[in-house]
Amino acid sequence: MVSVFVIISVVTPPFVIIALLMTLAYTRLGIYYLNATRELKRLDSISMSPLLSLFSELITGVESIRAFGAQNQYTMEAMNRVDVHNRPYYLLWAANRWLCSRIELLGCLVSFSTTILILFNLDTIDAGLAGFVLMYAISFSEYMLWFIRNYCDCEISMNSVERVNQYMNLEQEAALHSTPENKPPADWPATGSVQVDDLVLEYVPGTPVIRGISFAAAHGEKIGVVGRTGAGKSTLSLAFLRFIEAAKGRVLLDNVDISKIGLEELRRNVTIIPQDPTLFNGTIRFNLDPFSEFPDELLWDALKRSHLVHDETSGANSSSSSGTASPTESLPTADGSACAVDRMSGIFKSLDAEIKENGRNLSLGQRQLVALARALVRRSRLIIMDEATASVDFATDDRIQRTIRGSEFANSTLFCIAHRLRTIIDYDRVLVLDKGEVAEFDTPWNLLQNEAGIFRGMCEKSGEYEHLYTLAQSKHGNSAGAALISF
């Protein structure tokens, strides 16, 4: 072994050995630095997301925060998140300084060794060459620092490529368009009949949220869907639009298995009115008819029927004429900015009236009425309302329910998820979900007769049992059994 070193040192110039040693030292330093900074950069990116999400929550919820006097709480939370984000950032810089000091130290070693070599060889090299070599030896550490840092930066930046790659490999939704073999008939769905067979839905494979339920709804039926929190009501509604795919079983709409057709065909024909409807920045016309498919008369008609504008024939707002609400009751806007609706009359002045992003210039009740108008324009055979009236006043709820029960939706099958039992008590049938299973499915009146039933229990706990009982009785009950059930 010793002889090998002797031979190498004899046949190779000494600077090659020094260069090899230096390369080894720099490589070790670089690897050490890279391992630490790679993880720190990851932590830096991860801790940035909570900070940005809090920031956007603060911007959208600033009114609520002020209303509840929670400024200090949120300021503290923001500071905590800034601190958490600053930790890896600070350590990144510390690692940077650590690298610099080590590289400088090695650089000094290089300059020192070079100087010693020059001193020992003064008789063989002239002053010019010595100065030239020394100058390069001194700037050597700078170049090495530049090289190592750039290499590490390049590798760390590959984090972003890794993320893009993750997004590119995200699971995609099913095909938008049906294949020619699976294309539903042109007039599909001619009816809104729905049949659910042994449907299983799960967010996490192997953990079903809806556990093999089966039921059917006839064309034009109005079905109320109730159940305790977490029973799976919203999950079921998402399955009708295939936002969540069936793990087992199937849903037939007008005898067509919805899992076999394209998403676009399905979603064009099913309307959902969510609790907080999404409105787009643009005009009311664009919000009702984004693809410009319908004439203006139809859009005005939908606005009238959803009680957003005067009925010109009666010359009065239809809701106020029935004495349930004044047109100005639901007008306060979320941001207090200019409202697209005339504050005095509750009338959209034109179909080009401006709707701000997310309907900021409308109240929540008005946004839900716009969503209802959208459903009226599209005249879908299947309509799903997910707590669509949960946060509106009783008067607005009453208006929406009157529209639903009226002739407008006579040809549509409706599933209405509601916590307010008054909303669905006079529907045709009520579907009670419990822990992802169908616990009860019958007319509200029949369900009220079952003293041990879940629906009956919910009505009793609601504090308005007598009223609900009377409403159910007037719709479904026969006069012979009119005695009020005591509880």
Which residue number, 231 or 458, has a Cβ lying nearer to ligand ATP? 231
Q: Work out how close the CB of 433 gets to ligand ATP at its nearest, in angstroms, rounded to a whole number.
A: 7
Q: Work out how close the CB of 233 gets to ligand ATP at its nearest, in angstroms, rounded to a whole number.
A: 4
Which residue number, 44 or 202, has a Cβ lying nearer to ligand ATP? 202
Q: How far apart are CA 192 and CA 271, in angstroms?
A: 12
Q: Work out how close the CB of 241 gets to ligand ATP at its nearest, in angstroms, rounded to a whole number.
A: 14
* Helix (H) / strand (E) containing 375: helix 364-378
Which residue number, 107 or 227, has a Cβ lying nearer to ligand ATP? 227
User: Whose structure tokens read 């239809």?
Assistant: 318
Q: Work out how close the CB of 471 gets to ligand ATP at its nearest, in angstroms, rounded to a whole number.
A: 22
Bridge partners (DSSP) of residue 196 are 215, 251
Q: Work out how close the CB of 199 gets to ligand ATP at its nearest, in angstroms, rounded to a whole number.
A: 13
Residue 99 burial class via C-beta count within 10 angstroms: exposed 0-12, middle 13-18, buried 19 and up:
buried
Q: Are 348 and 366 in contact (CB under 8 A)?
A: no
Which residue number, 230 or 290, has a Cβ lying nearer to ligand ATP? 230
Q: Work out how close the CB of 208 gets to ligand ATP at its nearest, in angstroms, rounded to a whole number.
A: 9
Q: How far apart are CA 331 and CA 12, in angstroms?
A: 90
Which residue number, 14 or 230, has a Cβ lying nearer to ligand ATP? 230
Of residues 67 through 96, those in contact with ligand ATP by CB under 6 A are none
Binding string, residues 203-242; x marks residues near ligand ATP by CB under 6 A: x-----x-----------------x-xxxxxxx-------
Write 35-38 long-range contacts (CB < 8 A, 24+): 36/95, 37/92, 37/95, 37/96, 37/152, 37/156, 38/155, 38/156, 38/159
Which residue number, 107 or 232, has a Cβ lying nearer to ligand ATP? 232
Q: Work out how close the CB of 214 gets to ligand ATP at its nearest, in angstroms, rounded to a whole number.
A: 18
Total residues binding ligand ATP (CB under 6 A): 10
Contact partners, residue 256, CB within 8 Å, separation at least 6: 184, 188, 189
Site for ligand ATP contains 47 (CB under 6 A): no
Q: How far apart are CA 315 and CA 312, in angstroms?
A: 5
Q: Are 199 and 210 in contact (CB under 8 A)?
A: yes
List residues binding ligand ATP (CB under 6 A): 203, 209, 227, 229-235
